[in-house]
Amino acid sequence: MSLVKIRKFKLDVEQVFHEGGPAAATPLTIAVATAIVENPYAGKYVESLLPFMEELRALGADLSNRLIIALGGVDKVQAYGKGAIVGEDGELEHGAVWHEAGGWAMREVLGNPKAIVPAAKTIGGPGCRVMIPLGHIQAAYVRSHFGVAEMTVWDGPRRGEIAFGVAMATGGRIHARLGGLAAADVKGEDGLR
C-alpha cells in the first residue's frame, strides 16, 4: 500500500508584463503545481522517513510535468524552486522529504540541470502560504533569476496533511538590472556559474 495519498492538485500560472517600467515584449510566466497529500507520520515520531521520500519521487515528476506543459515545454524553463507546508500534526522534517524527492524529480524531468533547486518549508494550516525561492536552473549566481513564487491552497494543508509544490519560471525578474552573471553567459559546468 502506497504511503502517498493525494487529496487534490492545484496549478497556478501567472504572467508578469511589467513592474512599473515598460511592458516586456514577452511576459515572464511563473507556475506552481501543488499536491495536498496525507501525512502518514502525523501525530507520531517515526525514525525513518526514507520510504515516504522515495515514494514521493513519482509525485515530484508528476508535478514537474504539469508545469512543463503549463509553460510550453522544457526549453522554456529558466528558473525553478520547491516548497512544502506541513500541517500542524506533522513536523518540519516531514516537509524536508521534499528536498530530495521533489528536487531530484524536477531536475530529472528538466534534463538534469546543474544548479541546486532552492527550497522553502514551514508548518501551517489551511490557507498558509510559503514563498518558494526561485533560481536559475544552470547557475546559482544568476542574480536576475532570484525570485519567488507563491504556493497556497485555501483548504490545505489540514492538520494531518502536507502541501508539496514545485515552481518554474520562463525567465528572470522583469526589469532586472542589478548586474552579476548574465543568463546568456552561463557555462553550466558546476551549478554556480
* Host domain of residue 78: 6-185
For 1-43, how does the pLDDT look when each residue is reduced to its tens digit (9 = 90+)? 899 999 999 999 999 999 999 999 999 999 999 999 999 999 9
Q: Which residue has the cell 503549463?
A: 70
CATH code where residue 32 lies: 3.30.1330.110
Measured CA to CA, the distance from residue 51 to residue 116 in angstroms comes to 23
Q: Give the dihedral sign, CA 140/141/144/149.
A: positive
Tell me which range, 18-27, 61-70, 174-183, is most confidently predicted by mean pLDDT.
61-70
DSSP structure string for 115-159: S---EEEEE--TT-EEEEEEEESS-TT-GGG-EEEEEEBTTB--T
Measured CA to CA, the distance from residue 109 to residue 24 in angstroms comes to 28
Residue 191 within any structural domain of the chain: no
pLDDT at 107 (0 to 100): 96
Name, in order, each residue with C-beta under 8 angstroms of 138's C-beta and a sequence gap of 6 or more. 113, 114, 115, 186, 188, 191
Residue 172 within any structural domain of the chain: yes
Residue 192 within any structural domain of the chain: no
pLDDT at 1 (0 to 100): 81
For 92-107, how does the pLDDT look when each residue is reduced to its tens digit (9 = 90+)? 999 999 999 999 999 9
Residue 167 within any structural domain of the chain: yes
pLDDT at 99 (0 to 100): 94
**How many structural domains does the chain have?**
1
CB atoms within 10 A of CB 62: 16
pLDDT higher than 90, residue 58: yes
Looking at residue 43, its amino acid is G
Residue 1 within any structural domain of the chain: no
Name, in order, each residue with C-beta under 8 angstroms of 45's C-beta and a sequence gap of 6 or more. 91
pLDDT higher than 90, residue 189: no
For 111-163, how does the pLDDT look when each residue is reduced to its tens digit (9 = 90+)? 999 999 999 999 999 999 999 999 999 999 999 999 999 999 999 999 999 99
pLDDT at 188 (0 to 100): 84
- Asked whether the beta carbons of 80 and 137 are under 8 A apart, the reply is yes
pLDDT higher than 90, residue 53: yes
Tell me 184's DSSP state: G
Report pTM. Answer: 0.96
Measured CA to CA, the distance from residue 11 to residue 89 in angstroms comes to 25
pLDDT at 80 (0 to 100): 98
Q: Which of 31, 7, 47 is nearest to 147 (CA)?
A: 31
